[in-house]
Amino acid sequence: MGRTAALLLREGSMLRPILVLLAVALGACSDGFTTFPVTEEAQANVDENVTVIRLDETNIANFTSAVAGPQRTALRSSDSWDYRIGPGDLLDVIVFDHPELTLPAGPLADSQSAGFSVQSDGTFFYPFIGQVEARGRSVQAVRTEIAERLAEFIPDPQVEVRIVQFNSQGVNVTGAVNTPNRQILGAVGLTLVEAISAAGGATDVADLSRISIKRGSDIHRVDLRGFTDNGFSENNPVLRNGDVVNVPRRRTAEVYVLGEIARPGIVDVSAESVNLTQAITRQGGTNGPRADARGVFVFRIIDGRMTVFQLDTATPVGLLIGTRFSLAAGDVVYVTRSPLQRWNDTISRLLPTVQAAQATQTLSE
């Protein structure tokens, strides 16, 4: 053998004890020796700002968040609706058996522009009796006044008053709707559901649980699910003139599922409550033999401190406990790698070195 062979022999002799030590170390990575940082001894070695909690039947009830149901709105509302006349409305006044008082007469009488327009001061002019106050009054009140004042000129006048154009009152619908718009209020009351529908409906990102209605200087919160899901009639209020309805976008709320998962990724928890078992299942479950089902961790910030929850899902009992653990926005779920897989991965990295040592041994022989 030459100098090169001798050098390889020397390197081979140096590798043997290293390989023996690695074999001993990897042999310790069996299921029986795998532990998680949940013992008091292990906890003492963790940063003081980190709390580790092992989830089991005795404490899982402390981490099961009840899903908050819809709340009844405090917005005062009534199913009744009585339209009040305002500036810009167009009125039609008919005095039966007196066509001369039904103005304008003739072909224009059927036109939508025909009638008495309520002026900016809230009044309109009517023959014989002059200015009539209409702002803020019902059709019935205006009809009664006209009849009483005409009685000085016409015996027992029969008067009909109706609104032919509604222009003075409306509401605005904004936010996460397909067609934000202003909607005119008319003779029939407009409910919140009808207003959102008339705005093209809510978008896919709308949060119907946090609708706001600005009425005057006050802002009222309305959870529309209370009406659609629970039948709370007050959660579908009749809107009033000047109301501004805002349908907000759903807040971003995500949970990150990482580690030995079939499809590591993000789980959206903004629209519904998701538990730990659901989150893992939605991402395809744990990654077969690569995952250690005993090492399912949830990292969560609570009052500025890191809290680490550990769940053993190696048995159906653990998976059942996981269905009672509610995830929160910002949680990080991590599934650790199995000891066997860590051993396999390490061996795979060592193979080239081992093969080189074997080749050296062969040359030396």
Distance between terminal CA atoms of the chain?
A: 10
* pLDDT greater at residue 223 or residue 45: 223
Residue 336 DSSP one-character state: E
**Mean pLDDT throughout 58-62?**
89
Residue 43's SS3 state is helix
User: What is d(CA 328, CA 62) in angstroms, rounded to the nearest whole number?
Assistant: 14
pLDDT-based confidence at residue 106 (cuts at 50, 70, 90): very low
Sheet of 291-302: strands edge to edge?
A: 50-54, 305-311, 291-302, 332-337, 254-259, 265-268
Is residue 69 scored above 90 in pLDDT? no
Other C-beta atoms lying within 10 Å of the C-beta of residue 250: 17
User: What is d(CA 38, CA 89) in angstroms, rounded to the nearest whole number?
Assistant: 74
Instruction: Judge whether 261 and 286 are in contact, CB under 8 Å.
Output: yes
User: What is d(CA 158, CA 160) in angstroms, rounded to the nearest whole number?
Assistant: 7
User: What is d(CA 205, CA 221) in angstroms, rounded to the nearest whole number?
Assistant: 18
Instruction: Judge whether 298 and 283 are in contact, CB under 8 Å.
Output: no
| pLDDT at 255 (0 to 100) | 92
| pLDDT at 321 (0 to 100) | 93
User: What is d(CA 299, CA 52) in angstroms, rounded to the nearest whole number?
Assistant: 9
Other C-beta atoms lying within 10 Å of the C-beta of residue 289: 11
78-89 confidence digits (pLDDT tens): 667 889 999 999
Task: Tell how far CA 135 is from the center of its chain.
Answer: 42
User: What is d(CA 126, CA 147) in angstroms, rounded to the nearest whole number?
Assistant: 12
Is residue 330 scored above 80 in pLDDT? yes
- Rounded to 5°, angle at Cα 73 from 71 and 74: 130
Concatenated DSSP letters of 173-241: EEESBSS-EEEE--SS--BHHHHHHHTT-B-TTB-TTSEEEEETTEEEEE-THHHHTT--GGGSPBP-T
Q: Which of 61-70, 166-175, 200-209, 288-297 has the lowest mean pLDDT?
A: 61-70
| pLDDT at 50 (0 to 100) | 79
221-280 confidence digits (pLDDT tens): 999 988 988 888 889 999 999 999 999 998 888 999 998 899 999 998 887 889 999 999
Instruction: Judge whether 134 and 121 are in contact, CB under 8 Å.
Output: no
Tell me the average pLDDT of the chain: 79
Residue 120 bridge partners (DSSP): none
Is residue 22 scored above 60 in pLDDT? no
User: What is d(CA 253, CA 348) in angstroms, rounded to the nearest whole number?
Assistant: 39
127-180 confidence digits (pLDDT tens): 889 999 999 999 999 999 999 999 998 898 999 999 999 999 999 999 999 999
Q: Which of 15-19, 274-278, 335-339, 357-361 has the lowest mean pLDDT?
A: 15-19
Residue 20 bridge partners (DSSP): none
Concatenated DSSP letters of 21-37: HHHHHHHT-SGGG---T
Residue 326 DSSP one-character state: B
Residue 88 DSSP one-character state: T
**Residue % of the chain over a pLDDT of 70:** 74
User: What is d(CA 115, CA 108) in angstroms, rounded to the nearest whole number?
Assistant: 9
Nearest partner of 60 among 357, 326, 353, judged by Cα = 326
Q: Go through the domains of the chain in sequence order and give each one's CATH number.
A: 31-46+253-342 (3.10.560.10), 90-165 (3.30.1950.10), 170-247 (3.10.560.10)
Instruction: Judge whether 36 and 196 are in contact, CB under 8 Å.
Output: no
| pLDDT at 363 (0 to 100) | 57
User: What is d(CA 119, CA 360) in angstroms, rounded to the nearest whole number?
Assistant: 106
Instruction: Judge whether 185 and 84 are in contact, CB under 8 Å.
Output: no
